[in-house]
Amino acid sequence: MVDFPDVSNDGNFDVHAHPSTYYTTGNNSRERTRTYTRHPPESLGFLTDSSRYRRSSHDNKNKAQKFLVDVDETLQRILEQDTDGDFQITINDVGSKTLSLGTADSGGYRRIDIRGTYMLANLLQELALAKDYGRKHIVLDEARLNENPVDRLSRMIRFNFWDGLTRRIDADSLEVICPDPKNRSSQQHPIIYVPRGDPDAYDFYCKVANDRPQLHLIVEYLPQEITPEFVRGINDRPGLLTLAMRKVLDADGKTTTMVGEPFVVPGGRFNEMYGWDSYFAALGLLVDGRVALAKSMVENFAYQIKHYGKILNANRSYYLTRSQPPFLTDMALKVFERLNPEEEEENKAWLRRILKSAMKEYWQVWMASPRLDPITMLSRYRPDGKGIPPETEASHFDHVIAPFARKHNVTIEEFNKLYNNDQVDEPELDDYFLHDRAVRESGHDTTYRFDKVCANLATVDLNSLLYKYETDLADAIDQCLDGLLEDFDGKAQYAKDWTLRAEQRQQRMNTYLWNEDSQLYYDYDTIKKEQTTYESATAFWTLWAGCATEDQALKMAAHSLHKFEVLGGLVSGTETSRGDITLDRPNRQWDFPFGWAPHQMMAWVGFEKYGMRDISRRLAYRWLYTITKSFVDFNGVVPEKYDVVSSSHKVQVEYGNVGTDFKFVPREGFGWMNASYQLGLTYLNTQMRRALGTCTLPDLLFEKALALEHRRTDVEQEAYMQRRRKSSAAARQLTRNGSTSASITIISPNSKGFGHAQPFSPLSPSATAPTHPLAPRADANPPPPPAADGESYFT
């Protein structure tokens, strides 16, 4: 007889339970020794076609189908359809995309075909998860294979991805957090740097190093004053920077030990706590009810301000001189709103302590030299620093260094050493790296918006964030803290003073950053004393911060939004602002046609704040469509960024796309991308969520709404498309009709709307894109051609 499991009495079992539950309890609670007397085992069943069929109309659709699966054999059969060898099942794989499984109620005799990329990819993922828990044979619910992709992705983020991205710095986690994929130095033993003001942490890590010699852990104190020269001096010995810790009772209930406050890393090669990434990740954590984790991340920021003087770009030694866009007040207030209301006084004390740190950061980092421009009294990304940033790829700056190496008759590697040791004097190169460090502090590395000018710019994004600091502090004092707040010097803080600072900043932003003719905010060059012309999606951060007037908000929605809104969401900047792309002037990842989660989330909140929820919903749907489409077509991928014009994660750009390199099953996604999905779902109504589950094209879903907003004549639309066709033809000529690889966006020459390199919908591969009625008009003044060969990079 055949020994099969009884699958009849599991009606109360959650078929979508976490793998740790699903593959260890219920029908999968134990391994069984299987014997066969009549029917072939499942591993041989695919050789017999007589019992295979596809579920059809006469089947009982109300019956929950279950399959008996031999994990290793089925995994091998699936990988035979992985024709490109990336250990994923995607639309790029060719073949039948069909695999039969035996049903549990027939003892494996009756077989049903699993069809299509999405279901096969889900089967591959489930098999990988089953192997994680040592299962060789499983009972698998069909509901885990054909689950609505929106529900599946949201569930994976909530119960899998956040855990995969969570780190802490303490004795039990050093082996996970210390490795740094960006470390190219010869020093590979883990180093942990401790600030002078935290002797408890120093003693703790020294004890860990002694107790666990196999870690080869090196523990070093940082100096009391951290200078750019010191930071450059340890670039060949990069290490981890400590974060906040707390004491907890051991299992015996008598002794205490130190544990690190947990935090979420972005993912991939970014295995440390980043500044603005953490804010956006926290938004998703709060949606998913992980308040304690978000609160711990706030604690880590307060620790950084106390001991390192700023919220760091990230907690590695080579980031010590750089900060990142400031979000601490909003992050703290959002956590505060979700704390246990029964602990009101403790919550207020916590908020006061965090806001003290925020005020210290405000005055010592953003309202002080060199970041504060003394003329406009607006702030800039302008960090200190020396030498060449060590965290980039080895050849990242070769095109910049090469002319100077030739000038000194040395190799690039030799010149790097001379420059980092102050053995050559090159002011032009000093200026380049000043702006490069500023770009990295801005978080927008890299973009032609900031090319060789970033440190001089009073940017719309930074000053919007500081306006939010000022209004948050005013509101917190009045509405949350009973009018009681002091800084670290014991000086009382008053809401009216912070309100006045916000009003003054708003006036300055209107004077220097707002352009009434273009009806958009722009950055201001504090050296040239003029506005820049780059159109950036960060202009909508003024809506998030609330510093735009009602009139300005309506004008941006009516006359500027269409410049950024494309199929898959908001582009970082307009195509006109980016300029022409050539082999010598490739795409940069924070320019057109790329879109990023922070820009999307800030815009959703901003437009909603000004009563334009329909726009927020539409933009959220576009972005979530892009994420869901890639998730369905590419084995559950959730990457760092997208080409939102073609709604694809397949990008040819600097740094590639983090989050795409995994085998079988995604385990982390990407921090702020996960958050944007969870937050974005809160903007969708029931109809939109259903449409998202079927990957309905946004322009079809919003066709009527977009038609009402159409503000382009036929002549203007045709002029726009002529420019796009011209750009596409130039790109094909540049790459010899595709035989040469280049970072370009492919535009279909016959399309009347957006061009796409791949089909839009996984459910209708032949679908083509309709014309987007909000396409911007053609640029009457195209950017100048790139510099001729042989000219200096700095020309």
Say whether pLDDT at 338 is over 80: yes
Tokens of 575: 């195509």
Q: Which of 110-124, 365-379, 381-395 has the lowest mean pLDDT?
A: 381-395
Dist. CA 673–CA 486, nearest whole Å: 36
Over range 401-428, report the average pLDDT.
96
Confidence label for 55 from pLDDT (cuts 50, 70 and 90): low
Computed over every residue of the chain, the mean pLDDT equals 87
Say whether pLDDT at 150 is over 90: yes
Dist. CA 348–CA 458, nearest whole Å: 34
pLDDT, tens only, 287-327: 999 999 999 999 999 999 999 999 999 999 999 999 999 99
Q: Which of 21-25, 330-334, 344-348, 669-673 has the lowest mean pLDDT?
A: 21-25
Q: How far is CA 566 from CA 337, 571, 653, in A?
A: 34, 7, 19
Q: Following DSSP, what letter does each residue of 133-159 receive, concatenated?
A: TT-SEEEEEGGGTS--HHHHHHHHIII
pLDDT the model gives residue 733: 56
472 is catalytic: no
pLDDT, tens only, 603-621: 999 999 999 999 999 999 9
CA dihedral in degrees (265, 202, 247, 164; nearest 10)?
Answer: 20
Check residues 768 and 567 and name the one with the higher pLDDT: 567
Q: Which of 49-63, 308-322, 369-383, 781-795 has the lowest mean pLDDT?
A: 781-795
pLDDT the model gives residue 709: 62
**Is residue 113 a contact partner of residue 52, using CB atoms and an 8 Å limit?**
yes
Check residues 454 and 652 and name the one with the higher pLDDT: 454
- Of the candidates 762, 597, 696, 693, the one whose C-alpha atom is nearest the C-alpha of residue 154 is 693
Dist. CA 324–CA 196, nearest whole Å: 23
The β-bridge partners of 90 are 634
pLDDT the model gives residue 720: 57
The contacts of residue 758 (CB under 8 Å, 6+ apart) are 91, 646, 648, 650
pLDDT the model gives residue 723: 57
Say whether pLDDT at 269 is over 60: yes
**Is residue 222 a contact partner of residue 195, using CB atoms and an 8 Å limit?**
yes
- Of the candidates 795, 57, 13, the one whose C-alpha atom is nearest the C-alpha of residue 432 is 795
Over range 41-51, report the average pLDDT.
44
Say whether pLDDT at 122 is over 60: yes
What 8-state DSSP symbol labels residue 220? E
Say whether pLDDT at 773 is over 70: no
Q: Which of 73, 261, 575, 640 is catalytic?
A: 640
Query: Would you list the domain boundaries of the chain?
Result: 19-147, 169-260+272-343, 398-454
Check residues 108 and 7 and name the one with the higher pLDDT: 108
Check residues 289 and 268 and name the one with the higher pLDDT: 289
Q: Following DSSP, what letter does each residue of 375-418 receive, concatenated?
A: TT--BB------S--TTS-TTTTHHHHHHHHHHTTS-HHHHHHH
pLDDT, tens only, 173-210: 999 999 898 888 888 899 999 999 999 999 999 999 99
Over range 315-340, report the average pLDDT.
98
Q: Which of 445, 461, 565, 608 is catalytic?
A: 445
Q: How far is CA 684 from CA 157, 664, 679, 690, 760, in A?
A: 18, 30, 10, 9, 21
10 is catalytic: no
The contacts of residue 608 (CB under 8 Å, 6+ apart) are 616, 683
Count how many Cα atoms sit within 13 Å of the Cα of residue 206 in the half-sphere of its side chain.
Answer: 9
Confidence label for 697 from pLDDT (cuts 50, 70 and 90): very high
pLDDT the model gives residue 31: 59
Say whether pLDDT at 710 is over 90: no
| Confidence (pTM) | 0.87
pLDDT the model gives residue 716: 59
pLDDT, tens only, 201-254: 999 999 999 999 999 999 999 999 999 999 999 999 999 999 999 999 888 788
pLDDT, tens only, 565-576: 999 999 999 999
